[in-house]
Amino acid sequence: LQKILILLQVTLSVVVGKTLMILFPNAMKRYILKMGEKSRMCQNPKFSYENWGPTFFSFKYLQFVLKVKWKRLEDEAYEGHSAPNTPVVTLGGEVCHVLDFMKDNRPLILNFGSCT
């Protein structure tokens, strides 16, 4: 049911966005550029609007957004439920899953941090 609701929401967003791009191309370009500023895409001088702007609200855009949103559904954790078995990459580059690291009946502890 959640996937169907996401499909409807994203499809409606793409249809409205594509329609607005056709009817008001200059206004939509300004809007998309503002979105690009928030994500810092516009800071790369080699990556102009013409490279990525027209891809917004395309079929490939729809597919990508759906894939990301549907994947996030699998990664959500809820109190009292089983932990999600999220894919991870080892330092050696091997792709495995978090629950692959569980041993016998010992608790699995995940420690998150950052280095600068």
**b/e 9-38 (16+ beta carbons within 10 angstroms → b):** ebeeebeebbeebeeeeeebeeebeeebee
Q: What is the pLDDT of residues 9-66, one digit of tens each?
A: 999 999 999 999 999 999 988 888 888 787 777 677 777 788 778 888 899 999 999 9
The number of domains in the chain is 1
Q: Is the pLDDT of residue 75 over 80?
A: no
Q: Residue 16: inside a domain, yes or no?
A: yes
> pTM above the 0.85 mark?
no
Q: Which domain holds residue 95?
A: 1-106
Is residue 114 situated within a structural domain? no
Tokens 């009946």 appear where?
105
113 in any annotated domain: no
The answer, yes or no, to whether residue 115 has pLDDT greater than 70, is no
Give the up-direction half-sphere exposure of residue 92: CA atoms within 13 A in the CB hemisphere: 2
In a domain, 23, yes or no: yes
Residue 109 structure tokens: 């502890």
